[in-house]
Amino acid sequence: MSAYDDRDGQIWMDGMLVPWRDAQVHVLTHALHYASSVFEGERCYDGKVFLSRKHSERLLKSGEMMDMPIPYSVDEIEAAKRAVLEANGLDNAYVRVVAFRGAGEDMGVSAARNKVRMAVTAWAWGDYYGDAKMKGAKLDIAKWKRPSPETIPTAAKAAGLYMICTMSKHAAEAKGCSDAMFLDYRGYVAEATGANIFFVKDGEVHTPLPDAILNGLTRQTVIGMLKERGITVHERYIEPSELEGFEQCWLTGSAAEVTPVGQIGDDTFEVGALTREIAEGYEKLVRV
């Protein structure tokens, strides 16, 4: 694949479709300097974006939490996504919607006078973790911790929250791992760099309480699937010392979908029946 800035196709920017290579921003764009940006990552299956409106609603909510009102309605965002998929001839794709403060009269921390811009892109994208979807991903344990909600709006899908994710994933890949698992500011198990995490023990499922992490839409979907199957789900604080007692583990996210985990640090997990059942069930659900 060519670099992401050098491809054929169309990108929606500020209300219109433009050629892919022309979708540019100025070097003094506020978001580039101060991370004033929120985004959504979504997947389109057979021409339909899964949970599309919920993603659009969350984008607007993220903008509100970041004091960055986005000048588009849910319906307008939905129309932009459809236009991009159609213009690029895509039925199965990853969709990225990003809203950000652009260049304007302000070039300091304050940027209230700078216009909030939005772009929508889409491209064909396979499994986020490659062959880990079959054999189970290997995770490092990040040295960084997810921050307290008293320090930043952790419920927002905001670009600034991903800075330590990039560093942690780079460190993990250098060790031969697919990703890294974070602890939160209190020392509890939190999430991976771009996915929520689930564990299985004695037929019941345990997942971190999302009070300092993003309550992912895929996470919510999978919890619903488990409860429909009569499986007990414990949303709670999980100590790192508990990892050795869990039998199975998986990650969830729009990009990650449902990906088994085979190892976190020195602890190993089987890619068991429940993991496979949920992964297969999710694959069917998104194509309904």
Average pLDDT of the chain to the nearest whole number: 97
Cβ atoms < 10 Å from Cβ of 94: 18
Q: What is the DSSP letter of 142?
A: E
Render pLDDT for 143-200 as a digit per residue (tens, 0 to 9): 999 999 999 999 999 999 999 999 999 999 999 999 999 999 999 999 999 999 999 9
Q: Give the per-residue pLDDT at 225.
A: 98
Q: Give the per-residue pLDDT at 223.
A: 98
CA proximity to 278, closest of 133, 125, 81: 133
- Whether 157 sits among the annotated catalytic residues: the reply is yes
CA–CA dist 205, 87 (Å, integer): 42
209 pLDDT higher than 80: yes
CA proximity to 124, closest of 166, 82, 88, 79: 88
Do strands 257-264 and 248-253 pair parallel, antiparallel, or not at all (unpaired)?
antiparallel
Residues 149-159, buried b or exposed e (16+ Cβ, 10 A)? Answer: eeebbbbbbbb
Render pLDDT for 22-53 as a digit per residue (tens, 0 to 9): 999 999 999 999 999 999 999 999 999 999 99
Render pLDDT for 45-77 as a digit per residue (tens, 0 to 9): 999 999 999 999 999 999 999 999 999 999 999
User: Which residue do the tokens 């973790």 mark?
Assistant: 129
Show the tokens assigned to 180.
């890294």
Whether the CB-CB separation of 282 and 224 falls below 8 Å is answered with no
Mean pLDDT on 262-282? 97
Q: Give the per-residue pLDDT at 178.
A: 95
Render pLDDT for 218-245 as a digit per residue (tens, 0 to 9): 999 999 999 999 999 999 999 999 999 9
- Overall residue count recorded for the chain in this entry: 288
Q: What percent of the chain has pLDDT over 70?
A: 100
CA–CA dist 282, 137 (Å, integer): 18
Q: Give the per-residue pLDDT at 239.
A: 98
CA proximity to 286, closest of 40, 45, 42: 45
Mean pLDDT on 113-139? 92
Please report which confidence band the pLDDT of residue 130 belongs to, taking 50, 70 and 90 as the band edges. Answer: confident
Show the tokens assigned to 55.
């993603």
Domains of the chain: 10-123 (3.30.470.10), 132-285 (3.20.10.10)
> Letter for the amino acid at 243?
L
Catalytic-labelled residue, pool 81, 133, 138, 157: 157
Please report which confidence band the pLDDT of residue 134 belongs to, taking 50, 70 and 90 as the band edges. Answer: confident
Cβ neighbours of residue 39 closer than 8 Å, sequence gap 6 or more: 59, 96, 97, 98, 99, 157, 159
Please report which confidence band the pLDDT of residue 206 belongs to, taking 50, 70 and 90 as the band edges. Answer: very high
Cβ neighbours of residue 204 closer than 8 Å, sequence gap 6 or more: 231, 232, 233, 234
> Letter for the amino acid at 154?
T
Q: Give the per-residue pLDDT at 135.
A: 85
Q: Across the strands, what pairs with 138?
A: 263
Cβ atoms < 10 Å from Cβ of 273: 10
Render pLDDT for 77-94 as a digit per residue (tens, 0 to 9): 999 999 999 999 999 999
Please state the pTM of the whole predicted model.
0.96
Q: Give the per-residue pLDDT at 131.
A: 79
Please report which confidence band the pLDDT of residue 127 belongs to, taking 50, 70 and 90 as the band edges. Answer: confident
1 pLDDT higher than 80: no
